[in-house]
């Protein structure tokens, strides 16, 4: 009986490994999407930054140039992040992930950002929102 129980536990663990690997792969892909967009902002590469946005976000802007202009005006800390660190990536619904980040703008002010990403039908991850707030305790 003990051998059967041990075998069942081992099989259960092995069966869950592919799911965990897929979850980690999804989180890595989502991180890469956000990192790619921030690097595009740093280079003023509007087309690449825009391409990381979900279709629902792209539909709100006539072109990559109007998108990057909105980011420049409303999300300056993201647009010109001096530094950033992704703190966590968590599941958010069936085809969604939330990504938490701390960053510092070009003036040395600390911020936190919460990105929401959605999985597209082709399996890629695209950004469908970003909430940006000044970090607690940073009164600059």
Q: 75-104: per-residue pLDDT in tens?
A: 999 999 999 999 999 888 778 999 999 999
For residue 36, tell me if it sits in a domain. yes
For residue 139, tell me if it sits in a domain. no
How far is residue 120 from each of residues 14, 30, 57, 104, 124, measured CA to CA in Å? 28, 11, 13, 30, 5
Number of domains in the chain: 1
pLDDT at 2 over 80: no
Domain containing 118 equals 2-134
For residue 9, tell me if it sits in a domain. yes
pTM of the predicted protein model: 0.81
Q: Which residue has the higher pLDDT, 76 or 3?
A: 76
For residue 117, tell me if it sits in a domain. yes
Summarize the confidence of residues 26-50 as an average pLDDT: 96
For residue 140, tell me if it sits in a domain. no
């Amino acid at each position: 009986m003990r051998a059967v129980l041990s075998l069942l536990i081992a099989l259960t663990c092995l069966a869950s490994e592919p799911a965990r690997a897929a979850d980690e792969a999804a989180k890595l892909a989502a991180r890469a999407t956000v990192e790619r967009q921030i690097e595009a902002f740093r280079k003023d590469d509007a087309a690449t930054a825009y391409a990381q946005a979900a279709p629902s976000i792209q539909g709100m802007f006539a072109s990559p140039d109007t998108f990057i202009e909105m980011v420049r005006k409303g999300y300056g800390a993201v647009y010109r992040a001096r530094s950033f660190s992704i703190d966590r990536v968590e599941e958010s619904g069936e085809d969604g992930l939330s990504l938490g980040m701390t960053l510092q703008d070009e003036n040395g002010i600390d911020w936190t950002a919460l990105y929401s990403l959605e999985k597209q039908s082709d399996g890629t991850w695209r950004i469908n929102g970003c909430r940006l707030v000044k970090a607690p305790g940073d009164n600059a």
